[in-house]
Structure 1
């Protein structure tokens, strides 16, 4: 009787040990990957909002109308919509490197709903490390670029407290973003990263010379850009919970000094979008922690106990057989 029970306990203990190992080394790594489609609970499309104010905003339509083209304290709303290209992610090239492909559209509008700027990005990235790839027709506004660094839409799983190369879509290159500390957001610990982009020329813009201190009827003025970007990131899943950008773009004159401010604005994640990201990170992070540590640990300890008890019962001589 005891021998039979012992054999059963040995079998159950072995099963729990195998289960603990399978969860720890197979199931959790399989789950710790970016989905092929973001926003699976919202039909495969993810939408986020950011709001803020333009301290200064140049309005070219007002210039045409003969009005003051400089607006101040303008409310802004930025909408980003992202979907996954599942078909492309199933190609041999994407599957070979375990890539996800996301198409994302952003639209910045003022308080009248008028678009100030808009653009698209198509990113192909490693589903675990978020490293960008030049695969799969990745582009910005339809133009091929050289991708490097990590995905601007997502950090890697198991984020480290270090400096990452984070891709800036305005500069079209990766720029270091530094870990600066941790914060608590409604019970969720997040890592804070800060990226400071100094004044950099991003192109030229043809404008009436009078706007940039020139006597010429028309000139091509250097367009300058600077930004301070602060991101709050879930360290388990790599999701960007919230962020703030303090961005400025302007036109420089022939002497290199600022002549016309195009936009000077601060825009940050809207509260409802932020809370939804916090809730998702809590749910997903808790699941990964449970499957990756709690359940395997309990299974391992209980499995060892059952094995020991089972072996003892098997080895013990049953008096009924004497």
Structure 2
């Protein structure tokens, strides 16, 4: 019976050690991937100064920007996720809906843009391959560079290229420090686009500048909070837009929960479970060795005060 128990303990120990290794080195390839079922709505709000074309004066307004990010699961695969993003910015007047069209009698629509991007599910880096049909506002010649809607898993305290679909540039998002948010330590990055030539509208020359600040949960790479300061000028230097938009509290709470859940899952699969399996495996092997030695090495307990009889030896 004890021989059977020793064998069981050895088997359990080997299983624990092997399983610990598998979870430690194989689980990250499964757990640390962008999911293929995203359907996220993020709302950002803030003050704005917008040029009134009729009066030639800047108006003080409030903007509401609604970004929806959905995974195109049919186009995505095991290595690449394809997401379709829409961004609708409206004047926050009379509790507007998520988006409006140009026929709105109060003329509250400011802009509506789309962005279809493919990204590596682990590194979050943009992937440019015609089979994913990426585009910006329908322009299939647009090329994405760097990060788009999230950071890589286990983000570093370094700079990352952060793509801006308006300018179609990817300035460096510099690491500028850490900050506590919703009980988690965030990495804070800032990407600046200095004033550059860019049309204000169709056939309206002008210039553009933008500063984006994001708070990233480093384990998952999720952007939990974002602030964007955007400015535009006409060709003669007249300011056409100056706005600062910040994730609203619902968006921050949602992103924080996603980050917290993802971080817990990654920690469970890559740290806690392997450690538990390792300890169980080692304990089982130690128990097997102890039981084997206590039984004299052959599975039969020696009598007290009498040395064990050697097999094959005459008495």
Query: Does TM, scored on the shorter chain, surpass 0.5?
Result: yes
Q: 135, 142, 157: which is aligned to 2:138?
A: 142
Partner Cα separation in structure 1 for residue 52 and residue 82 of structure 2: 35
Partner Cα separation in structure 2 for residue 80 and residue 221 of structure 1: 26
If the length of structure 2 is used for normalisation, what is the TM-score?
0.85
SS in 1 for 2:122: coil
Q: 1:172 corresponds to which residue?
A: 168
Give how far 1:309 is off: 2.0
Q: 2:218 corresponds to which residue?
A: 235
If the length of structure 1 is used for normalisation, what is the TM-score?
0.83
Q: Which runs of 5+ in 2 are unaligned?
A: 97-107, 303-307, 310-315
> 2:42 touches 2:68 (CA, 8 Å); kept in 1?
yes
Partner Cα separation in structure 2 for residue 184 and residue 19 of structure 1: 35
Structure (1/2) with the larger strand percentage: 1
SS in 2 for 1:199: strand
Q: 2:105 corresponds to which residue?
A: none
> 1:100 touches 1:125 (CA, 8 Å); kept in 2?
yes
> 2:31 touches 2:265 (CA, 8 Å); kept in 1?
no
- Two-structure CA RMSD over aligned residues (Å): 1.8
Give how far 1:72 is off: 2.9
Give how far 1:221 is off: 5.5
Q: 2:6 corresponds to which residue?
A: 6
Q: 2:51 corresponds to which residue?
A: 58
Q: 1:132 corresponds to which residue?
A: 126
Instruction: Give matches, 1:259-278, under 5 Å.
Output: 260-278=238-256
Q: 104, 116, 119: which is aligned to 2:85?
A: 104
Partner Cα separation in structure 2 for residue 147 and residue 272 of structure 1: 29
CA deviations on 1:223-245 (whole Å, 9 max, x unpaired) are 11111111000101111101101
Give how far 1:298 is off: 2.2
Q: 2:62 corresponds to which residue?
A: 75
Partner Cα separation in structure 2 for residue 205 and residue 297 of structure 1: 58
Give how far 1:200 is off: 0.7
Q: 2:159 corresponds to which residue?
A: 163
Give 1 or 2 for the bigger CA radius of gyration. Answer: 2
- Does structure 1 residue 296 correspond to structure 2 residue 289? no
> 1:6 touches 1:312 (CA, 8 Å); kept in 2?
no
SS in 1 for 2:163: strand
Q: 1:209 corresponds to which residue?
A: none
CA deviations on 1:162-188 (whole Å, 9 max, x unpaired) are 000111111102111001111111211
Give how far 1:99 is off: 0.7
